[in-house]
Structure 1
Amino acid sequence: MSDQSTTGPRSRVLTRAIERVPAKRVPFVKQSFIALLIALSAVLSVTTPWLMVTDAPVMWAGVVLAVAALGFAELIARGHVSLRWELLIPGSGFVAVGMLRHGTGDSRSVFLNIVILAIVWMASRPGRGHVVFAMIGSLVTLLMPFLFDPSGPPSSEVVRLALSLMVYGTLAVAVNELARQAELRLTLSQARRRAVQGELDRAAVVQQSLLPPDASTLPASFSVYGACVPARTVGGDFFDWYPTDDGIAITLGDVMGKGVGAGMIAAAVRSVIRSSADEPDPAAALRRASAGVETGADIETQFTTCFHARIGMDGVIHWADAGHGLAVLRRADGRVERLRSLNLPIGIGSEWTTFTTQAQAGDTLICVSDGVLDLYDDELEAVNRFEDLVRRTPGAAEIVQSIANTAGAEERPDDVTVMAATFEPARTSQPRA
């Protein structure tokens, strides 16, 4: 007998790409707004008659400083300067706003509020120390005009500046606390996500272990192959095979839905059917599976479509279909016959019928889940296109491999499972590989 193997189940977690601003690019983006507002303020002060310019050189020096800080942020973005020097940028923003304020009327300047951007930038960084840095920066902004006018502020201006510093300090504390809480929530969320992903990975390993081993334990008259490509880490599809007293039994099922819940029901149905190895009637095995997953709880119905067959050494196929409808028999001459049944899925129906079909040498029984139909663009023609693939692909291994490759090459909305068994009685007397 030639080597019989199975295409192992493959699990691939599909993720969508989310565009994010790189960490090194963040300072440039933040400073862009500050530099733009400072430059725009200076231009408006020069061109608008109701705005004043009290010290043009200092005002334009503030603009130059803001633009220079933007250039420094670009060096960080390009990797020429380490990100740890980021705080120099909002620090220069405090100085630039202070110079703009002095150059546009000191206490009468309408542009002082630009400093809030630098405060939020500084205070939003983790650590209480950044609140102190934000307050020092605010103090520099407020006192910058007096660097150019040593006469000092009047008493009323001192009170106003003290009140402004208190307001900015309160803002810094609030922003820092909000940032700290957001960081804690993010850390907790990431920890939970890692825990859930770990559970999913372990569930996927358990589910994979429930799939059948290679087909070397089956009689030499049969070549059996299968593959399962879940849409998520854990899927609701399953397939199985095992030897019987007079041949083999094969099963393919598809639980409604996806994820861990569907995977648990799939494992239960698969286990009950496999425990019915001594039951020659496939319909009786489905009835056992139905009883095994039946629950008296008042929950939404979870149904399972399932195809179960037993193939004898004489090629006689006894099969039962619980609402699945996606099994075909490919004759050795290329003809494709659908194995049709009107029975309902497990979880909805209560009675199933066993049908009998005769397989000849070289005939292949193929069963797939409905996720295979999603691989085709035209939903109305999906079944016909699947049958065309079976018709023009003579080998069971090639059919399984072709479908598995297509499923693994693109994003899928549903699990994709395929199983194929070829009846080859001429190999009975040949030694096992």
Structure 2
Amino acid sequence: ANNRFQDYVLMQSRLTNKYKASLEAQTNLQDANNELAICIHEFGKKMAATEESGNASLGTCMMKISEVVMAQERLKSQQRAAEQEMMQHFLDFVNTTAPGIRSQKQRFDNAQQDYLDASLRLREMGMKSKVKLEEVRRAETDKMEKKAHYHLLTISLLDTLNTSVHEENAALLNIFTKWMESVSDFTAESNQILSREVSHVPAWKEAAASETKLKNEQKKKSADLIRNLNSDSENPAMVLMGPKATPAMSVRMTQDPVQKLLDQLIRNERKYVHGIVATQNLYLAEFKKDASLLSPDDEKKIFMNIGDLIDFHQRLLKALEKAYNCWPFPHLAGLFLDLFKMDVFLMYGDYVRQISGSRSTLKKVKHKKEQWKNLNKSIQQRHDIGSLSELLALPQYRLGAYISFFEDYLEAIQETEPDYIPAVDTLQHFEECYEDILDNGARATR
């Protein structure tokens, strides 16, 4: 039962990492789509303002497309809220429920060992020639007490394991049901938006046909003009292109799948570094301008050792970018093993263990000082970043991103490649260290 439960926890832990990466990717995509939609809308607006009918039709079409894209991104944002709730449930299960049951399993293991030790002591007494009857009775009583305690913990652990799985199954079914409903709502609203805008399509098709006709007429005029040129005249193609025109360079349309994974990791790493650097360069720098806002003790409790994390991840980012620029780079696993020494994991362990106290101190300071709250809000609005509490939470699960990367990396490379075995070892090392960090963090919270 315990093995089945631990498999359940491992599955949810991996699912959490995948969801987190997916939500980050979706957020990045939403930002890009919104920027694209704004650009399309502005360009379409300028085109629609011209007197030429083809330009005006194209401009109107582009504006409508941008409106559809922005509307769909708003709907997707609502859907992601449901996915965020789902991921939060997984996090709660993996970081709270699972460690609690691991602790109960440890008590069960200790009771089992105590019972075996008591049985062994009684057996050794029976093998001795001279033993006091009172000692034998005490040993027998101790054995029976240990046995009763062991049996009680056995029943309790088995009941907890089975109950937890049933409760989690019910909770997941409810969450997935909500998610399906949100997807259904998203699809229905998207169809409504498209149905509303599709009425413009016939007019756009007519405008496209008109533009095609004008193109053919212009092409015929150009052909007639070229035929009428004297044979010794300057090449019209050179007149149009200029004397320095050169053939277009071929563009590599494909990319190594491993390089794509590294590219995505670098993008996420830049975003992560940007977030944790903001805690120092924006929030802490602003708070230090007024000594009454933050005492040295509160500063230490709130920001912990995030400065050390910033230094490390800036070095990591440079190393990853260097590997990408020197592609092909056949030793990614070695790069991680060289950089992620045990002191880095200890640094993360200290951070995760103190994060609960950091949140409590931050909450206390916010409630006491209205100026702090206003300044925090002002920084968010001016720099378009998350709140301080959100940015400080980023390192808590960062190591999971590297675990996800190596899971995908192992799927992308062949088992015969030199980096495969080191990558397996790296993944296992990260998983073990990350699990210990989360367990210690959960115990510190309790």
TM range (shorter): under 0.3
Q: Indicate the structure with greater strand content.
A: 1
TM-score normalised according to structure 2 size:
0.22
| Structure label with greater radius of gyration | 1
TM-score normalised according to structure 1 size:
0.23
